[in-house]
Chains A and B, each alone.
Chain A
Amino acid sequence: MSDPITRPGVAAPRDGADPTGTSERPASATERGIGRLGDRKKARLDELARASADKGGVSLVRDAFRRLRRNPVAMFGAAIVAVFVLVAIFAPLLAPHDPAQRFDELTKNLTVDSIPGASSDFPLGSDPLGRDFLSRLIYGSRQTLFVGVFATLIGLALGALIGAVAGAFGGWVDNILMRLTDVMLALPALLLAISLVAMASRSSQWTVILAVAIVNVPIFARLLRGSMLAQRESDHVLAARALGVKQRSIVLRHMLPNAMTAVIVQATLTLSTAILEAASLSFLGLGDPDINRAEWGLMLGVDGVRYFEVRPELAYYPALAIIVVALGFTLLGEGMRDAIDPKNRR
């Protein structure tokens, strides 16, 4: 009944909406237009398929790195670490003066209750012995990085060795090694480090590095042993055994690499604690006795504390440097943990 009325009404806007298509070309032209549109879509699909096919395999590391890059907190930590490493590497270029040199213009103003402050030549002023404070701070990053990295690497190597052996063999080997690490873990870290340094006949920076490394050995050992044991029960290790893979390959190829992720993340976190522990030892006067060596913990502990009422900056800046660098490694380490953890994988 309503047809005669509605039909033209429906037809009318259609005509209006497509004036060019109907007026300029006959009806068959629109069909060709649709065909062309289809062709174009097909071409785009082909292009997309090619683009995605050419991508190739993505490696696990790159995959983790991509996830890390999307984490702003981790990138903030990475930025701190990067700046710190760059400063350490380019310290000779960045520092305005030799960190060990005593300057006459500074020493002549030096008294018990006054230490020269900032001047145009010495941006952060003098330290209690008339040396350039800024240069010493910049050179201190080298020392901190050196101690932190070596202490962590040595601790990681020893700990990973113990943990891998314990986890791979199990049984009484595991029992003996783990009871030993338990003993070490039972002692407070700093107390253990202090005792180890005190045991050395002559302290040098290597005694500090070794002490901090040994403190971290049981942590790495326990961690790796735990994840090795978990790997031993895992399906893919069972599958590898079902294929007759030799014990050595099972441990080295199937268990260890999978167990290492936790340890690598722990290593980044350990870098920050190693830096803190090394600084603590220097602070307590157990570090390198060489007074010319610029070291943040030493600067904080000796100069900073002694002259705190005269010039508190002597304590502030090294303390700030230690805190910021430790924070950087912690943030980066936690970001890495999130990125590498297979459970976060989509």
Chain B
Amino acid sequence: MSLLDVRDLSVVFQRRGEQSFTAVDKVSFSVEPGQTVGLVGESGCGKSVTSLAIMGLLPRRGNKVTGGVLFDGTDLLQLRPNDMRDRRGRDIGMIFQDPLSSLNPVVPIGVQVAEVLERHRGMDRKAALKEARELLDAVGIPDPNRRLKEYPHQISGGMRQRALIAIALACKPRLLIADEPTTALDVTIQAQILTLLKQLVDETGTALIMITHDLGVVAGLCDTVNVLYGGKVVERAARHELFARPRHPYTHGLLNSVPRLDSPRGEPLHAIRGSVADNIPWAEGCAFAPRCNNVVDACLEGTPPLESTATGGDLRCNNPVSEEVAVP
């Protein structure tokens, strides 16, 4: 059985007197223990909302979450708020995008790490701080004794993200959700953080949901990749399969728009025309149709279903990119 099974998860934002907006539309995917699953897409395609819905962190009012999030057989959406609170941080950890704003600015790092240990593992402050020291050491923060007493603004961005990872992994959760963990960091630090995440995930056997728009991150880390567009999964494939033979025009476009060092100087960058905001609220047809190069008449009439492909993935497209065309 999968560790996490997301079934037909939908999130609809609804405000009185305003048109409702479907941010996540029947998204299904599953995560096996120890596996790393990527959720990829542009800004606004529903990645973060999906993760917040899994964690039960969406605001109580103004939205409707339907479907199921089965964690180890329990539907997290049906849990009472108090039970869900007990699970957050203990069974499921989460790493956020901006390490500076995700740490409490007036509490020393050590206390913030210790807080989780006190909360979920019932440690007293002294034992928790000792454990916190070891955790900071484990995520590669030099001189952890000193850092324990320091405040978030006093340490570097990379170290803050390491501290956040230490906090998220403090209770050895079985699932870790990383919401764009490297976006706010510079490239050298990004690589370090990704290496660290990979190493920790391998060591502890924690399953990882990697939410990112960075295909480089996906290439380095994920086992399977879900490409999201307009709140829907448009393509799902194993990592190598996705990079070697992207089938959905959106995936193809994403991979094409990554600038390459070995392309000729004069060659223009390939962008997908338009932007996500062009087609909100989404019309009847395929959400990607207005931006798609492969668009056919059927695309405008209804959303194609998500169908299994010969290579073991899933695809939601009427006119996929032919299998022979590999990304240059």
Contact = CB atoms under 8 A, between A and B. Distances in A.
A236 B146 contact: no
Interface string B91-125: 00110101001111111100000011001100000
Contact of B94 (A236, A239, A249, A342): A239
Interface stretch (B80-88, B194-202, B203-211, B265-273): B80-88
B221 interface: no
A202 interface: no
B106 A238 contact: no
A241 B88 contact: yes
Interface string B41-63: 00000000000000101000000
Contacts of B115: 243, 245, 249, 253
Given A57-B146, A241-B88, A242-B94, A236 B119 contact: no
Interface in B15-56: 55
Contacts of B90: 244
A59 B168 CA distance: 24
Interface string B161-184: 000100110000000000000000
Contacts of B119: 243-246, 249
In the complex, which of the residues A60, A241, A244 has the most CB atoms of chain B within 10 Å of its own CB atom? A244
Interface string B212-236: 0000000000000000000000000
Contacts of A24: none
B324 interface: no
B183 to A, nearest CB: 13
B185 to A, nearest CB: 15
Counting chain B residues whose Cβ lies within 8 A of the other chain, the interface size class is 35 or more
Contact of A342 (B87, B108, B153): B153
B85 A254 contact: no
Contact of B89 (A60, A236, A244, A253): A244
A258 B106 contact: yes
A236 B151 CA distance: 13
A249 B107 CA distance: 12
A239 B87 CA distance: 14
A345 B88 CA distance: 32
Contacts of A253: 104, 107, 115
B192 interface: no
B131 interface: no
Contacts of A241: 57, 85, 88
A82 B169 CA distance: 49
B266 to A, nearest CB: 42
Contacts of A258: 104-106
B153 A235 contact: no
Contacts of A243: 88-89, 93-94, 115-116, 119, 167-168
Contacts, number: 89
Contacts of A345: 153
B134 interface: no
Given A56-B146, A57-B149, A246-B119, A240 B57 contact: no
Interface in A54-78: 56-60, 63
Contact of B107 (A58, A246, A257): A257
B257 interface: no
Candidate in A234, A235, A239, A254 with the most chain B CB atoms within 10 angstroms:
A239
A60 B116 CA distance: 22
A59 B105 CA distance: 11
B120 to A, nearest CB: 7
Contacts of B167: 243
A236 B152 CA distance: 11
B293 to A, nearest CB: 38
A243 B96 CA distance: 11
B101 A53 contact: no
A183 B96 CA distance: 41
B8 interface: no
Interface of B: 55, 57, 85-90, 93-94, 96, 98, 101-108, 115-116, 119-120, 143, 146-151, 153-154, 164, 167-168
11 contacts: A58-B154, A59-B151, A63-B154, A238-B57, A240-B104, A241-B88, A242-B93, A244-B85, A244-B87, A244-B119, A257-B104
Given A57-B149, A249-B119, A253-B107, 18 more contacts: A53-B146, A57-B108, A234-B101, A235-B102, A236-B103, A236-B104, A239-B102, A241-B85, A242-B88, A243-B93, A243-B115, A244-B116, A244-B119, A244-B120, A246-B85, A253-B115, A257-B107, A258-B106
The 7 A-B residue pairs with the shortest CB-CB distance in the complex, in nearest-first order: A57-B149, A243-B89, A244-B88, A244-B89, A235-B101, A242-B94, A57-B150
